[in-house]
Chain A
């Protein structure tokens, strides 16, 4: 009896240990030529000679290992979007924030303990490489999923361009684009391929994991003839929310449950409609509404297409299944996002009039090498826009969108609570924030849309020491500088984070300093740090005053000449008058 219980226990123990596997992916990052949208062949970035890169599948408590070999002609890095990287910030991925980029020809191994579950994605975070195709779904399964379903599909939506990102970026940031018009995509794809079909068996329940991997586009997702229920948002399981359609911005994820119909007489269209409000212009050739198919029977006809009606949707109303009460913030930041032409004459994005420029030393390495000064924001450089947080403080950020466009903001290393929404700009000096939502279990996610001329208040606890980028996830805007760097608990980072020396080797190979402040120097000597453009002065500069003086002198000289010319006539008239007077007097005498 005892022996059987013991063996049962051993089997149980073995199975839990076996569940915590090390899942390894070898990613040889290369260029691939492809005609993904059937309209134009172009060079893209693929993995292992394939495009699109394969999805990554892991399970909660696994360790994800990605062996990256960079076979591009430029550096690269990978960011696992939405993963907390607790105590693991050096593998978060953004170039010059948590690491030097991986040099061409070099190897880099990302080792990531998986501490959460849900729908995520992995993408390049050097320049705009993810827009050139370096992106893939990252699905983290849970052995005990909150909701029951029979099967699941991943539907990864993305806008698609025909030109390489670096070429378009040059045009976007040039002085000849003062209005900051973002390049408009030429098409859009599901799972970076055409004609996606998803087989449905009558009576089964399906989980659809919807990811938006776009550079810019926002999609409205709906399925003809089927109701959908939202069950997950950005990796957070939520109470079922029935919707007919919902919007999904760049970098966001949703899971929905769909119940298959009872009969196989028809197939149905899945709609992903790009919202034209995101585009500066909508060319006639651009097909905004892309589709996939739910196939019950290959032979069945398509059900007649339904009229697209986009429902309004407030993701702040979603209720997380695992409740987390919010707490009064220890620190409140107000960040105002705006776009303007700065003194380098290109249209740049700013948070509180500061545009993000990468420092000379990755900010994480600065935090780890500046000792006591790591809590002083100055060492990170003004243009990295550092925000230093104390360990375990509750932090609130009010994001003011002072721009006509809608922006999705993403925080690395965390999910945050959406605790408030409001119109216009919130100024902390005017008093407490007025737009708090009345709830004890606020909605949580890692990428939130702040609509034009509105504000959103988010809250999280600084319980994850590391350096986390906070930025708009429209890739163009990140490049234009709409980012800040959150320096979380720098005082305990050295005890929590251990950076493998091979990371510093890559810095050396690229000639990038890997210790010291933002200028690569000791202490607070920031001479030589990367400086960003500043707002235009809007006043007279030296050359303006000189020019003004010249114009005044020219006008005075001209008018003087007129008067000089007129003097002779003046004198003539005066003498004529005098003569006439004399003549008159003579007459009267």
Chain B
């Protein structure tokens, strides 16, 4: 299964599509709230949003897709000679990118709130300038989603690109499409007013999965570097022969080889958990150290958040005092 469905790609596409869908749903719900007495304008503005999203999506797919294709074909040919070295480096890059994304997802748990905040500021501008009739403002609701989706889309492409190096080409399409569909579904549910709590828990679960994947990638990167070193000593492609460095080996199983084409289940476990039938002191330690690093990062985020909240509360008394003053004046 791991060979036709790449879990990291799925989660990346899911997350990026969800965020884009949230933007769309916020804009659409905003339009339906504001434009209550002009059906023609209402319809036109809704179209603007969809067209803007579509254009943004297409451009980002073209640019990103081209980038990935060129990078993959050029890079893969160049890197054949020290295959393991490059595979290890790409696994490490993918691990870092996925970890950042997973933690960001955790941090910006309220994407809707964030986007509402951002977009309402922009909407206020548009409203006060009565730019529905203004030329530049006319297409604001087209340009805004287009730029947003473009930016999100390119971000997704870069993340996907970072991950595809160490992914089989045929595992990408299915994962990308299902990620896209799942993200669209989530956006639709949000628009319809789905439960924020369920959504939040969905995102937390996604974060957990992504971190598991990233931990596995970290171990894979270490294994690739060790295999490259062993290949250089032994002189040849030891991995194909099932050979490994016996010094520091922790387990070497006759079953469970993720590269075995007949046992796809292990390839799937490899992509989700980083499972391998060969483990060394290096890979096991690396895996545990990764999780320690993640725990450290999360603790840091928590304390940073607490300090920021405390700082805000410290400011509030002065704001409240100012408001009181104004109220006093008015009275």
CB within 8 Å of B: which residues of A? 175-179, 341, 345, 536, 538-541, 543-544, 547-548, 550-551, 554-555, 557-559, 561-566, 569-570, 573-574, 576-577
Contacts and interface: CB of A to CB of B under 8 A. Distances in A.
A345 B295 CA distance: 38
Given A176-B233, A557-B291, A573-B200, A562 B251 contact: no
A345 B246 contact: yes
Contacts of B253: 538-540
Given A565-B302, A566-B200, A566-B204, A558 B241 contact: no
Contact of B215 (A544, A555, A573): A555
A570 B197 contact: yes
Nearest to B216: A555
Contact of A550 (B212, B243, B284): B284
| Interface SS of A by simple majority | helix
A308 B145 CA distance: 76
B211 A547 contact: no
Given A550-B288, A562-B204, A555 B243 contact: no
A368 to B, nearest CB: 41
A176 B230 CA distance: 9
Interface in B183-201: 195-197, 200-201
16 contacts: A175-B247, A178-B241, A538-B255, A539-B253, A539-B254, A540-B251, A550-B284, A550-B288, A554-B215, A554-B288, A555-B212, A558-B291, A566-B204, A569-B109, A573-B109, A577-B197
B207 interface: yes
Contacts, number: 104
Contacts of B254: 536, 538-539
Contacts of B59: none
Given A547-B279, A576-B196, 13 more contacts: A179-B241, A341-B243, A538-B255, A540-B253, A544-B250, A550-B284, A554-B215, A554-B287, A562-B298, A569-B200, A570-B200, A573-B109, A573-B196
Contacts of B195: 577
B96 interface: no
Contacts of A341: 243
A571 B251 CA distance: 43
Bin chain B's interface residue count: 35 or more
Given A177-B234, A539-B254, A544-B279, A566 B106 contact: yes
Contacts of B215: 554-555, 558
Interface in B241-276: 241, 243, 246-247, 250-255, 273
B292 interface: yes
B169 interface: no
B200 A559 contact: no
Interface string B289-309: 011101100110110000000
Contacts of B288: 550-551, 554
B238 interface: yes
B141 to A, nearest CB: 26
B75 interface: no
B241 A543 contact: no
B291 A547 contact: no
B297 to A, nearest CB: 9
B250 A178 contact: no
Given A177-B234, A555-B215, A577-B197, A565 B301 contact: yes
User: What are the 6 A-B residue pairs with the smallest beta carbon separation, nearest first?
Assistant: A538-B254, A544-B251, A558-B291, A345-B246, A554-B291, A178-B243
A563 B299 CA distance: 12
A538 B252 contact: yes
Contacts of B236: 179
Interface string B48-88: 00000000000000000000000000000000000000000
B110 interface: yes
Interface string B214-243: 010000000000000000011010100101
B208 interface: yes
Contacts of A550: 284, 288
Nearest to A550: B288
